[in-house]
């Protein structure tokens, strides 16, 4: 089977040699547009299968991920894990509330006393997956592993950072720059306003 990065490239989700602004406000030249993956159910399923096969030897009751894109990942991963293990593995998600991630809709009962696989699509700063891990612990779950589709900052985002076992399906280091020190800005490379937060960034400057 193809790697996670190869699957993302096959649906046009990896855009290089451009000028992007991320949620953190940092600038960079390579963008992984996870939203380009999710309309393709077969490719999304393949990513879930990669997660399931990677963690199939772990004792897992529940797969949890942050909303929104993580909803699709947790469902497919739990689906394939259930098939591999021959028992039902639950697939749930946490939602943003007051700057944190929390389990609503009665999903906390699939966390408390359960062995949980925490997954996320991409990580650059590692913040949202860290919030998910903290929420799982808060709700009485045990994080058996944390995993991402693509780790874009392998030097900084690791098991030590999360305080839990962590691994990625693929790695792709993307250099980040502040707006003040951005070489792309200095070379007057136009900011992409179609994907990422480039449009908001430009509007905030006007």
| Of residues 158, 173, 168, 129, the one with CA closest to residue 4 | 168
Q: What is the pLDDT of residue 206?
A: 73
The Cα–Cα gap between 187 and 45 comes to 40
Helix (H) and strand (E) counts in the chain:
7, 10
Average pLDDT over every residue of 101-112 = 97
Residue identified by tokens 């609503």 is 104
Q: Which tokens sit at 49?
A: 């299968």
Per-residue pLDDT at 28 exceeds 90: yes
The share of the chain scoring above pLDDT 70, in percent, equals 100
How high is the pLDDT of residue 89?
98
Average pLDDT for residues 22-49, to the nearest whole number?
A: 94
Mean pLDDT, to the nearest integer, of 111-125? 95
Sign of CA dihedral 70, 149, 60, 159: negative
Task: Decide if pLDDT at 22 tops 90.
Answer: no
Average the pLDDT over 197-204 and give the result.
92
Q: What's the whole-number mean pLDDT along residues 114-132?
A: 93
Where residue 53 falls among pLDDT bands split at 50, 70, 90? very high
54 close to 167: Cβ distance less than 8 angstroms = yes
For the chain, give percent helix, strand, coil, nearest 5.
35, 25, 40
Q: Quick check: helix, strand or coil at residue 51?
A: helix
CATH 2.60.120.10 for domain 4-205? no
- What average pLDDT score do residues 44-61 get? 98
Q: Please give the helix or strand (H or E) that residue 73 lies within, else none.
A: helix 69-85
Instruction: Determine what percent of the chain is predicted with pLDDT higher than 90.
Output: 87
The pLDDT mean for the chain works out to 95
pLDDT tens-digit series, residues 128-172: 999 999 999 999 999 999 999 999 999 999 999 999 999 999 999
Residue entry with tokens 């999360």 = 162
Residue 24 has a pLDDT of 81
Return the SS3 of 18.
Answer: coil
Whether residue 199 is preceded by a cis peptide bond, meaning omega within 30 degrees of 0, is no
């Amino acid at each position: 089977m193809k790697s996670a990065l190869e699957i993302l490239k096959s649906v046009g989700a990896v855009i290089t040699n451009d000028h992007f602004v991320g949620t953190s406000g940092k600038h960079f030249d390579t963008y992984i547009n996870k939203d380009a993956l999710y309309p393709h159910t077969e490719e999304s399923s393949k990513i879930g299968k990669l997660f399931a096969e990677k963690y199939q030897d772990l004792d897992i009751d529940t797969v949890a991920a942050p909303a929104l894109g993580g909803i699709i990942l947790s469902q497919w991963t739990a689906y394939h894990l259930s098939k591999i293990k021959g028992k039902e593995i639950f697939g749930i998600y946490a939602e943003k509330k007051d700057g944190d991630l929390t389990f609503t809709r009665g999903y906390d009962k699939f966390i408390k006393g359960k062995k949980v696989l925490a997954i996320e699509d991409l990580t650059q700063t590692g913040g949202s997956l860290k919030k998910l891990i903290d929420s799982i612990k808060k709700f009485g779950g045990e994080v058996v592993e944390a995993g991402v589709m693509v780790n874009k900052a392998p030097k900084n985002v690791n098991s030590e950072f999360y305080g839990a076992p962590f691994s990625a399906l693929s790695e792709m280091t993307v250099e980040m720059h502040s707006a003040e020190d951005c070489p792309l800005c200095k070379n007057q490379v136009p900011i992409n306003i179609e994907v990422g937060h480039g449009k908001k960034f430009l509007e905030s400057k006007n």
